[in-house]
A and B are shown apart, each in its own frame.
Chain A
Amino acid sequence: MSLLLLVILLLLAGVPAGAARAHAPDGRPLVYGLSAGACAIGGLAALAAIGAPPATLSLPLGLPWIGAHLRLDPLAAFFLVVVNLGGAGASLYALGHARHETMPQRVLPFHPLFLAALNLVVIADDAFTFLFAWELMSLASWALVVAHHREQENLRAGYVYLLMASLSGMVLLLAFGLLAGPAGSYAFAAMRAAPPAAGVAGTVLVLALIGAGSKAGLVPLHAWLPLAHPAAPSHVSALMSGVMTKVAVYAFLRISLDLLGTPSWWSAVLVLALGGATAVLGVLYALMQHDLKRLLAYHTVENIGIIFIGIGLAMAFRADGFAAAAALALTAALFHVFNHSVFKALLFFGAGAVLTATGTRDMERLGGLIHGMPRTGFTFLIACAAISALPPLNGFVSEWLTFQAILLRPDLPQWGLKVMIPTDGALLALAAALAAACFVKAFGISFLGRPRSEAAGAAAETDRFSRAAMSGFAALCLLAGVLPGALVDVLAPAVQSLLGARMPAQLGLPWLSLVPVAAARSSYNGLLIFLFLAAATSLSILAIHRFASRAVRRAPAWDCGFPDARPATQYTADSFAQPIRRVFGALIFNAHETLSLPPPGDTAPARLTKHLADPIWDALYAPVQTVVAWAAETLNVLQFLTIRRYLAAVFIALVALLLALALWQ
């Protein structure tokens, strides 16, 4: 606990250091080195604390009659591992990557501040500390989103983000207010001791879904995420997508499964429905993008959906008293939390390297990067395969565990759950398959094929710090996929602390298999699959090169006899997604194409125009925007009144308030 406080203090010390030394040559290594070191210590301390009993600490800070309560329990410790692993990786990456930063004074002070806030949210044990850290996290990341404030798009992203962040903070404030009750006991321990009545609990749960869900990117509150995450510098994008969304998941878990006690079954249906919708819509949105970083941001939405499916299952099983099944579902969700923080950070690192090397995020101007950036390409490929849930990597394991939880089928009495759980299974399967399609597109268009612009052709490999961070995270993807039992065992105390049950211990099993319930029911052995794959591949390569031909001839591409040297004849990101756009997009995005052919004799080019609508933005955000704009326009007259009128307005307001008070009493 004290070690973690030290880590937060170290990170906070980085803030003035970053501000003072922003333009000095030692500013970047100082701040990012400090952050990386602090996060590494924090991660190790948290890892050691997962199995330990909860530690608490009260500091005489904050509101005088409350103080600041901190608590490190297994759940918080697990999320701290995720936070600090991501933080250490991003800082290491930034050591090299941030060399290209044009405005270091707008990034350096906020990076450690953001990390400190992320740490503080997780160990907060009273509503005030929690909300303070939550807002600090929002503001620090907002500052990083608008770091490059001269770009119009970033300003808009920052504006939308700020609005959504304040909404989320406000809603969480209400939720904690309800939890604290009339006595106003803001410490989590007091809330835990006195769970609210069913009606209040339902309201708190919905508020938590809005407050934490909007931060995590649950549909339909996700709209800010694909704007804000890509706008920030790439190491911050990695932190926002990989870590901040997980802290939001933590907030939801803390409120829904810890502070509220046993959830009701309808709240589980709600979470399951939102999770399923988020998973499929997120990946469909991602498929329509051709901005590499925005595509990744939409995939964060999808993965949050998968995590919430796991949480929803855990809530459903818990509501009906199936503790072991709930433990399996929550383990799957937490496993995916870890996985996503690793491969999403890695993907953003890769996208950042591409952005630095080529100066663009537009996939239509990339291509062939695997030649110039082989290491980046390889690690990016690993991350693409991992996020597409392909064995033997880690993404497969968490989705497999989620399926196993769906397949448990305990005897649930509620019809809503009986229909919702298998439906979520289908949605999860659809999301996983579409994610694979999307990452074939992301990798295939950006890294394979021929360069679509000069910059892409001249791209060079990124620096060694970035490569080290990427290689480390790629190794983690493989490691967590090959030895999933180890991670499940590490997670077990966190699950136990929330649900009072855990998955059976895995590491003692023969061959290091993963067996959620019983070996006859289902088992998966990533290690053996990996070894078999490696053996089969090397065996076939060796046998063929030894006994058959090993001759190679380089020649122009065949292309059915009509090769065209122009790179523009390749498939583009948009054309690659066209079949899927046609199958799914017509319904959801009202996607259609119009073809305009000039009349015979006219030499004007023919045009194919693609139309896409964003139904959620149009139905939910655009009306709100219109109302707010109208209100602002109408109230604008108040800004230009004379002093007499202002005084009159103040007087009237005072009288009205006094009257109201008198009448109310």
Chain B
Amino acid sequence: MTAALLVQGADMALVVLAAPLLTGWVRRVKARLQRRRGPPLLQPYRDLRRLLGKEAVIADGASWLFRTAPYLVFAFTWVAAALVPTFATGLYFSWTGDLIAITALLGAARFLLALAGMDIGTSFGGIGASREVMIASLAEPAMLMIVVTLALIAGSTQLSTVAAFMASPAGGPGVSLILALAAFLIVALAENARIPVDNPATHLELTMVHEAMVLEYSGRHLAMIELAASLKLLLSLSAIACIFFPFGLLTAAGGAGGYAVGLGSYAVKLAAAGALLGVFETATAKMRVFRVPGLLGVALMLGLLGTLLLYAGRGL
């Protein structure tokens, strides 16, 4: 039991520690593709340290919600990330919540962040919050439809069980699974405020969603929000990796060798996914905000189609 707890704790620490590295890696790939040298890989860690050391400048009209929201957003994201299998399935607390709970935990983080954006009473906070909830109102149902599809395939909503099922010979590719993957990729882009839905690098006010919400944050509060955003990116890529590409995932009790393989393949998968994200973001332009619902509607329909195929396909 102590060993199991240790592995669980290591997993939770790993996701927090590795998240800024992944963000740095994506930025690095994008910079190289744009023929820039780009910041060093470890720059996100330096940014966090710098922000943590600064004083927090808080607007006059801010309430307690504004000050506690960053910590809560981080906590919700962290708990959600801890429920996603990274290098092994069946961790000690992996049954605490399923994919629906993970989606809802991320939804709670977004709920708080949108409220925090409205707390000061500036128009930018309002515009960011308003667009964020519009995007979420389509992305969340799409995500839930993906969950339903996966649950119907694997017979479980527990992500750990789903990943173990996918890694087993029974979890071969199928039409519904491919539809779910396509939908998941769209939703992950929207959830993480990436191009083409939002631009994480922009500070052009009228095109931004996530950045507009957190415009008033500074110092340690901003650091928590940045860390939570990195963590969410890591979570999304981990989820895609463990469901659709479960190679090397440690599904049974394994020794040090099994953990080494699990960790190694996890690192390779993250690096590949980050690089692909960088390529995709460089090759794509940002969408107008009112074209985003169309994109997310496609994800929702793909998810629903996958579900209907499975639901109705039984007994055919």
Asked whether, in the complex, the Cβ of A524 is within 8 Å of the Cβ of B136, the reply is: no
CB of A440 within 8 A of chain B?
yes
CA distance A455 to B227 in the complex (A): 39
Asked whether, in the complex, the Cβ of A422 is within 8 Å of the Cβ of B61, the reply is: no
Contact of A440 among B129, B215, B223, B310 (CB under 8 A): B129
Asked whether, in the complex, the Cβ of B307 is within 8 Å of the Cβ of A537, the reply is: no
CB of A262 within 8 A of chain B?
no
Asked whether, in the complex, the Cβ of A423 is within 8 Å of the Cβ of B96, the reply is: no
CB of A14 within 8 A of chain B?
no
CB of B72 within 8 A of chain A?
yes
- Interface contact tally, CB-CB below 8 A: 284
CB of A658 within 8 A of chain B?
no
Instruction: List which B37-54 residues lie within 8 A (CB) of chain A.
Output: 52-54
CB distance from A517 to the nearest CB of B (A): 10
CB of A61 within 8 A of chain B?
no
Contact of B57 among A413, A426, A555 (CB under 8 A): A555
CB of B191 within 8 A of chain A?
no
Which A residues are CB-close (under 8 A) to B25?
none
User: Is the contact region of chain A dominated by helix, strand, or loop, or is it mixed?
Assistant: helix
CB of A407 within 8 A of chain B?
yes
- Knowing A449-B118, A553-B56, A578-B130 are in contact, say whether A418-B312 is a contact too (CB < 8 A): yes
Which A residues are CB-close (under 8 A) to B68?
537
Contact of A579 among B58, B130, B155 (CB under 8 A): B130
Pick out which of these stretches binds chain A: B26-34, B106-114, B242-250: B106-114
Which B residues are CB-close (under 8 A) to A440?
111, 114-115, 118, 129, 133
Closest residue of chain B to A551 (Cβ to Cβ) is B55
- Knowing A391-B108, A423-B304, A557-B120 are in contact, say whether A436-B312 is a contact too (CB < 8 A): no
CB of A406 within 8 A of chain B?
yes
CA distance A499 to B156 in the complex (A): 25
CA distance A443 to B157 in the complex (A): 32
- Knowing A388-B111, A403-B144 are in contact, say whether A575-B126 is a contact too (CB < 8 A): yes
Asked whether, in the complex, the Cβ of A425 is within 8 Å of the Cβ of B148, the reply is: yes
Contact of A540 among B75, B126, B129 (CB under 8 A): B75
Closest residue of chain A to B219 (Cβ to Cβ) is A549
CB of A357 within 8 A of chain B?
no
Closest residue of chain B to A577 (Cβ to Cβ) is B130
Asked whether, in the complex, the Cβ of B121 is within 8 Å of the Cβ of A552, the reply is: no
Asked whether, in the complex, the Cβ of A390 is within 8 Å of the Cβ of B111, the reply is: yes
Asked whether, in the complex, the Cβ of B312 is within 8 Å of the Cβ of A415, the reply is: yes
**Interface range, A side:** 35 or more
| Interface hub of A368, A413, A540 (most chain B Cβ within 10 A) | A540
Contact of A558 among B93, B98, B215 (CB under 8 A): B215
- Knowing A396-B104, A400-B100, A425-B148 are in contact, say whether A556-B60 is a contact too (CB < 8 A): yes
CA distance A526 to B256 in the complex (A): 33
CB of B266 within 8 A of chain A?
no
Asked whether, in the complex, the Cβ of A570 is within 8 Å of the Cβ of B58, the reply is: no
0/1 per residue, A353-371, Cβ < 8 Å to B?
0000000000000011011
- Knowing A533-B75, A558-B59, A558-B216 are in contact, say whether A429-B141 is a contact too (CB < 8 A): yes
Contact of B95 among A519, A552, A583 (CB under 8 A): A519
CB of B198 within 8 A of chain A?
no
0/1 per residue, B214-249, Cβ < 8 Å to A?
011001100110000000000000000000000000
CA distance A407 to B121 in the complex (A): 42
CB of B315 within 8 A of chain A?
yes
Asked whether, in the complex, the Cβ of B76 is within 8 Å of the Cβ of A533, the reply is: yes
CB of B4 within 8 A of chain A?
no
Asked whether, in the complex, the Cβ of A445 is within 8 Å of the Cβ of B148, the reply is: no
CA distance A429 to B314 in the complex (A): 23
CB of A194 within 8 A of chain B?
no
- Knowing A406-B148, A430-B137, A528-B96 are in contact, say whether A521-B156 is a contact too (CB < 8 A): yes
- Knowing A537-B71, A571-B130 are in contact, say whether A433-B304 is a contact too (CB < 8 A): no
Closest residue of chain A to B82 (Cβ to Cβ) is A532
Asked whether, in the complex, the Cβ of B148 is within 8 Å of the Cβ of A437, the reply is: no
Closest residue of chain B to A421 (Cβ to Cβ) is B311
CB distance from B76 to the nearest CB of A (A): 7
CB distance from B97 to the nearest CB of A (A): 6
CB of B11 within 8 A of chain A?
no
- Knowing A433-B107, A533-B79, A557-B120 are in contact, say whether A426-B155 is a contact too (CB < 8 A): no
Asked whether, in the complex, the Cβ of A426 is within 8 Å of the Cβ of B300, the reply is: yes
CA distance A597 to B289 in the complex (A): 24
CB distance from B230 to the nearest CB of A (A): 14
Asked whether, in the complex, the Cβ of A403 is within 8 Å of the Cβ of B122, the reply is: no
Instruction: List which B128-150 residues lie within 8 A (CB) of chain A.
Output: 129-131, 133-134, 136-141, 144-145, 148
- Knowing A536-B74, A558-B216, A575-B130 are in contact, say whether A529-B58 is a contact too (CB < 8 A): no
CB distance from B169 to the nearest CB of A (A): 18
- Knowing A440-B115, A560-B215 are in contact, say whether A419-B120 is a contact too (CB < 8 A): no
Contact of A522 among B98, B115, B129 (CB under 8 A): B98
Asked whether, in the complex, the Cβ of A444 is within 8 Å of the Cβ of B220, the reply is: no
CB of B175 within 8 A of chain A?
no
- Knowing A533-B75, A558-B59, A578-B130 are in contact, say whether A520-B104 is a contact too (CB < 8 A): no
0/1 per residue, A460-488, Cβ < 8 Å to B?
00000000000000000000000000000
CA distance A254 to B53 in the complex (A): 63
CB of A450 within 8 A of chain B?
yes
CB distance from B19 to the nearest CB of A (A): 14
Asked whether, in the complex, the Cβ of B93 is within 8 Å of the Cβ of A528, the reply is: yes
Closest residue of chain A to B61 (Cβ to Cβ) is A450
Which B residues are CB-close (under 8 A) to A529?
79, 96-97, 101, 105
CA distance A400 to B157 in the complex (A): 11
CB distance from A630 to the nearest CB of B (A): 42
Asked whether, in the complex, the Cβ of B134 is within 8 Å of the Cβ of A583, the reply is: yes
Closest residue of chain B to A559 (Cβ to Cβ) is B122
CA distance A306 to B180 in the complex (A): 25
Asked whether, in the complex, the Cβ of A583 is within 8 Å of the Cβ of B75, the reply is: no
Closest residue of chain B to A558 (Cβ to Cβ) is B216
Asked whether, in the complex, the Cβ of B74 is within 8 Å of the Cβ of A540, the reply is: yes
Closest residue of chain A to B148 (Cβ to Cβ) is A425
Closest residue of chain B to A540 (Cβ to Cβ) is B71
Instruction: List which A531-555 residues lie within 8 A (CB) of chain B.
Output: 532-533, 536-537, 540-541, 544, 548-549, 551-555
CB of A645 within 8 A of chain B?
no
0/1 per residue, A3-47, Cβ < 8 Å to B?
000000000000000000000000000000000000000000000
Contact of A570 among B52, B111, B123, B151 (CB under 8 A): B123
- Knowing A391-B101, A444-B129 are in contact, say whether A579-B134 is a contact too (CB < 8 A): yes
CB distance from B193 to the nearest CB of A (A): 15
Which B residues are CB-close (under 8 A) to A551?
54-56, 219
Contact of A370 among B65, B72, B136 (CB under 8 A): B65
Closest residue of chain A to B304 (Cβ to Cβ) is A426
Asked whether, in the complex, the Cβ of B55 is within 8 Å of the Cβ of A444, the reply is: no
Which A residues are CB-close (under 8 A) to B158?
520-523
- Knowing A448-B63, A449-B121, A570-B122 are in contact, say whether A560-B74 is a contact too (CB < 8 A): no
Asked whether, in the complex, the Cβ of A433 is within 8 Å of the Cβ of B76, the reply is: no
Asked whether, in the complex, the Cβ of B289 is within 8 Å of the Cβ of A579, the reply is: yes
Which B residues are CB-close (under 8 A) to A524?
96-98, 101
CA distance A461 to B118 in the complex (A): 21
12 A-B pairs within 8 Å (CB atoms) are namely: A390-B107, A419-B308, A433-B107, A433-B139, A436-B136, A440-B118, A519-B95, A525-B97, A552-B58, A553-B58, A556-B59, A560-B215
Sample of 19 further A-B pairs with CB below 8 A, known A432-B141, A551-B56, A551-B219: A391-B105, A419-B308, A425-B144, A425-B145, A429-B141, A429-B144, A444-B118, A520-B158, A523-B158, A525-B96, A537-B72, A549-B55, A554-B57, A564-B123, A576-B130, A579-B289, A580-B133, A583-B134, A583-B138
Instruction: Enumerate the 10 nearest inter-chain pairs by beta-carbon distance, A residue then B residue, closest first.
Output: A571-B126, A449-B121, A551-B55, A444-B118, A429-B141, A536-B75, A437-B133, A429-B144, A433-B140, A450-B121
